[in-house]
A and B are shown apart, each in its own frame.
Chain A
Amino acid sequence: MAQESHSVRNVRRWIVVVIAALVLGLGYPLFWGTTTIYRADLPYEEIQQLTTNLQHNIQFRIPVYLQVSDPVPVSSTQQAFNTRLSYTYPELGQLWSVEFTTDSNTVDSHKDYVVIVKKANVLEDSFQISPYSKMIEIFVSDKTVADEYIASVLVDQVFKEEIQQLLSLTTNKNHDTISTVMPYSSDYNIVFSLFVENGVEIDWQIEQSIELFTPILDRLSHFANFSIATQVQYYSKLSKEIKYNEEDQAFVLKPSDLTTFINFGDWNLFTHDINPTINFIIFFPASNYDNKPWKIEGSKKNSFLVPQWGGVHIFNKELPLIESSKVTLTEDELIPVLEVFSSQLFQLLGFVNSPKSPSIRIDTLSRVSTYKNLKQSLESLTSLIKVTNSLSEISIPELTKEYVNKSLDYAKKAIEKVNNDQDYLTSVTYSSLSLKNSDRAFFEKEMVQQAYFPSEHKLAVFLPLLGPIGSIISIGILKLISDIKKDRSKAKKEKSE
């Protein structure tokens, strides 16, 4: 048998090696490159770092101006306050504190907190929080203990609810007051609806009455924008019939009835808007025409709050009505109802109950919301990372990355605003933008949609190509190796011989 020449055999061996190298070096990247899913690089470490250190990164240092008749060093007050704060709330850490400054006389008490200490001949030390501005007046008999008293007033009165809310946020406790609060948005719709039980037309002077809300909403305009709409709906029956209670001479709504009071299916309540809607409903029962009132058990103002949704008031007309004539709800009748709604609005937006001063309330709310938004935004970014890490087949589009980066940028800006300028209204806007972008990143359409080409599918389609080629090449390589081994052993034998 004619043995092949050595060079030909070498060429054949080289061919096997070159083809194997080509398939591995060119084919595999090509296959990988054409069938792989795009996964943008997300800033994993940055998000984790921000999430774990949020409580330490953000530092609320609320400037408080001290006005004392004769100048005393601020440091003693500061020290007294710090001791008091760390004693009462040791978990708070560096997150929240107050910085005392002496008054430079140019302070606007609507913008900044001002503590005025007055010496008075009173038996007991007392204080007064202005209902309009951020001014706190303190009356003390003895100046030596004034520091202690100022600290206790601030910690236990002025900022009590704020600190508690912040603490419940940091410790992830689901506080009752927080669950009634609407999720934060920079725009809200407020809808006042008059739901009439029967089909007798009613005029309501809502256009004039609503003016009551304008100053309130104007003051909130830094916090969020509100757009108001009103509507009247007739033939709005309850989903459940309410029985007449002879004892009370009224239709009585029990607390258990309130959960099913709103007939979501039938009443026109939907809004095709991305922004959350706060609903205020005035229900006008048909029994008004029989002069039979409705009562809500345990409610003086005949109204109740629906958490994260809105408020309801049941309207009882005082005078008996005639069915054939058009009824008018006058401004005088509506104003008390709208006052109830305005306090419900504060509750729904998450304002603290005390102190009553609106500027303090808004200030407090913006700090709490800033922290809450940042926390939520980082939480959703963290869960985004979890999702992308656990699903290796999910695609991460460039847009998601963009939104993540934007969200992080805004979060950093918000933190910066708080730490450097203590500018809470700007920081709440930034934090809400961060939240919005983190939601967008998470719900990016291309990412959420199912992987179009799962890897099993990919393999199944290309198996007719990959299978034979792979097996041919691997067999070729095996043969090559065995040939080389054989040659070597032969060469050895020849040598030894």
Chain B
Amino acid sequence: MLISVQLWSIVLLMGSALAGEFYNETLTLKPLPRNKLLSTFNFDINSSPFTLQYYNSSIDKRENHHYTYFPRALGPILESTNVRELHLRFTQGWWDSDSWGKLPFNGFKSGGTGVEVWSVIEAPNIEIAKENWYKLSKTLSGFFCASINFIDDSITTFPKHAIKSYNNNNNNNRKYYSNKSNKLYLIRAALPSEPICTENLTPFLKLLPTRGKSGISSLLDGHKLFDSLWHGMSIDVYTDCENENQICKFKMNQSVNHVIDIMRSIRKGEEGAIPKPTPGEKLRCDENKTFNVWQCFPLNDPTELDWSLETLYGRLINGPAFLNDHTGTTLKVLTNRDYWRVTAKQNRKDSIVTYTLAGEENTLTEILHDQAKYDFNFKTTDSSQVLPVEIPPLLVSRSLTGYSLDKGGFRVSFKNPSDQDSIDFLYFESLPWFARLYLNTLTIKIHNSTGEFSGKELESEFIKNTYYRPAIDRSRPSHLELLISIPANSTIILTYQFDKSLLLYHEYPPDANHGFAVEPAIITVLDNQGKDIYELRTTSLLLTLPTPDFSMPYNVIIMTCTIMSLMFGSVFNLLTKKVITEEELEQISSQSKGAKIVSIIRQKLAGLKGKKTAKTTTTTTTTQTEPTKEPEPTEGTSTSVQPNSYT
């Protein structure tokens, strides 16, 4: 009896432990105007509960950790660096807000161009927090095959308001530190010039419990994914603790978002990777304009389309994530149902099943639970009929101004497209130290229906709060955070100036003339209560710095050496040798041994030549006599004669 009771309690315990673990994946497909498609892969993973522990090297008894869905590859890294929250973004491309509208997940999962990392680290003081941060960046670098290890003091910032930790943003005061005397540090860095490619995707997929072998992640293939107009991968891990006791869970969300050009994918599928000229009979010409064998005004892309996931990804979805999990894998299509028809095709071992997707309003949902290869076919009579574009709450563009090599400036324009609401937002910018920002040059200009205004007094009207931490050469970037309020239907333009500084010889990268990337600025739109509702990033900028000729140091050394030795030589000779006149020199040289030898040789040579010269002198005399015979005088006489002869 006792044993059975114990067994039951164990089973119950197991049950409660397992309830915490969780894996879920969703693929959302949303056709965009002009034959584009936004596809969003979303993976949610919860770890099994564990006791939060502050890790340092002196600890002897460590917790046992159990990983079921949460990757063991990441767990020990987070544990050993006391990371309570980790966010990673890998993004490339340009999001076209005008035609695609809001970013997926309201921008909270999209980073700026390149790689972005921020994390919350528990530490007793900032030095230890930094130490852990660098340790984290080094291990992540190895794991994700990205140069995250290049993160150092000169690009690391401690955001104050703009980026919030998960807990701050959700207004829950759950403390997730193990030791009451410790603090939580939010640390961030970005690498804007980092390219994103397949070697970043492979470790990303390895973090999933399916490791990209089944479920929606089986679609992800580096060649197709990165051949898109805009793509972003994100990883968010945060610690979720129950109040008071330190039983916590890691909650991880991974997502891949990208915008596919459907026409391009179809063309690639038909023609291969190398584009070929369209043959004459396939040209689509506007027949309302001049149209003959020689002339053709092309039409826009066709709107009657028929494509499937295989056209886009070259693969099929390999069943659900787990064969016995009937709710874990979901596919959603967000589109106008009147014009779009989505059919699912299940390739089973022995049969093929086809059916049309059903759903409510504009959302079609399909839960994948059969062991089959899934494909989804999209057929439309008018591909321009998609869900209306949601206009983002704020449109921002940032650009570099100035043309000289010693200074430059930034111009940032914020546009509030709304007709009624004014908007509060936070502007976060971290500039590299070699761009020396002068905050006093900050000017503000507002542009609205009544006209254009500028002036210092506007600054206090629109910029409600400023946080600025100036740069320190080589050890800190400048860090600027502004809380700006922008009225409805108007545009605010900020400009500020900076000086470019010369770097040390070894600080230039191998391709210094390419320019230095300035990381994207982050804009967080706030609602009335100060909660984040939308996040966007500007593009990264390419800053050209004065770049020296890199062979210069060697040239300088060699040139200086040459001049110095020349100078030394002449001074040395002046000091150690006597200055004499030319006559004296001749006199001396005629007395010196060398001169004697030379004269002896000369004499001997002269003796030898004696016989020869007899000949040569005769020839010379003959040649000398010849000119006397030359016709000049005769000519003279002849000319003098001629007139005579005529007369």
Contact = CB atoms under 8 A, between A and B. Distances in A.
Contacts of B72: 191, 229, 231, 268, 271
Contacts of B562: 464-465, 468
A221 B324 contact: no
A208 interface: yes
Size category of the binding interface on chain A: 35 or more
Interface string B556-586: 0110111011101100110111101000100
B322 A230 contact: no
B569 A325 contact: no
Nearest to A23: B568
A476 B322 contact: no
Interface stretch (A56-64, A169-177, A232-240, A402-410): A232-240
Interface residues of B, number: 55
A228 B566 contact: no
B568 A232 contact: no
Nearest to A464: B561
Contacts of A232: 67-69, 209
B554 interface: yes
Given A208-B10, A268-B206, A230 B65 contact: yes
Interface string A445-466: 0000000000000000111111
Given A15-B575, A465-B564, A227 B17 contact: no
A203 B14 contact: yes
B273 to A, nearest CB: 27
Contact of B324 (A201, A208, A227): A201
A199 B558 contact: no
A326 interface: yes
Contact of B323 (A200, A221, A468): A200
B601 interface: no
Nearest to B140: A272
Given A229-B64, A230-B65, A235-B210, A472 B77 contact: no
B167 interface: no
Given A221-B60, A268-B206, A468-B569, A199 B67 contact: no
Interface in A199-256: 199-201, 203, 205-208, 210, 221, 225, 227-235
Given A1-B587, A235-B210, A273-B76, A229 B323 contact: no
Contacts of B64: 207, 210, 227-230
B514 to A, nearest CB: 25
Contacts of A233: 209, 211
A277 to B, nearest CB: 10
B76 A235 contact: no
A476 B577 CA distance: 9
Given A229-B64, A272-B143, A472 B572 contact: yes
Contact of B211 (A201, A235, A326): A235
Contact of A199 (B68, B71, B210): B210
Contact of B17 (A207, A270, A479): A207
Interface string A463-481: 1111111001100100100
A198 interface: yes
A406 B560 CA distance: 46
Interface in A2-60: 4, 8, 12-13, 15-16, 19
B369 to A, nearest CB: 10
A379 interface: no
Contact of B71 (A16, A230, A268): A268
A19 B574 CA distance: 13
A201 B568 contact: no
A294 to B, nearest CB: 20
Question: In the complex, which of the residues A1, A208, A324 has the most CB atoms of chain B within 10 Å of its own CB atom?
Answer: A1
Interface in A338-372: none
B544 interface: no
Nearest to B570: A472
B142 to A, nearest CB: 6
Given A198-B323, A203-B18, A272-B76, A476 B584 contact: no
Interface in B51-91: 60, 62, 64-69, 71-73, 75-77, 80
A205 B71 CA distance: 18
B421 to A, nearest CB: 48
A323 interface: yes
Contacts of A199: 210, 213-214, 319, 321-323
A468 B322 contact: no
Contacts of A325: 324
Contacts of B389: none
A270 B144 CA distance: 13
A19 B558 CA distance: 23
Contact of B584 (A1, A191, A235): A1
Contacts of B588: 1
B453 to A, nearest CB: 56
B322 A234 contact: yes
A312 B170 CA distance: 45
B73 A268 contact: yes
B200 interface: no
Contacts of A268: 71-73, 206, 211
A231 B211 CA distance: 14
Contacts of A235: 210-211, 213-214
Given A8-B578, A479-B576, 5 more contacts: A4-B578, A272-B76, A324-B323, A325-B324, A476-B572
16 contacts: A1-B587, A16-B576, A199-B322, A200-B322, A205-B10, A206-B66, A207-B17, A227-B62, A229-B64, A229-B67, A229-B75, A234-B209, A323-B324, A461-B557, A469-B564, A479-B576
Shortest 8 CB-CB distances between A and B: which pairs? Answer: A465-B561, A468-B565, A464-B561, A235-B213, A231-B72, A231-B67, A227-B62, A228-B64
Interface of A: 1, 4, 8, 12-13, 15-16, 19, 189, 191, 198-201, 203, 205-208, 210, 221, 225, 227-235, 266, 268, 270-273, 323-326, 331, 461-469, 472-473, 476, 479
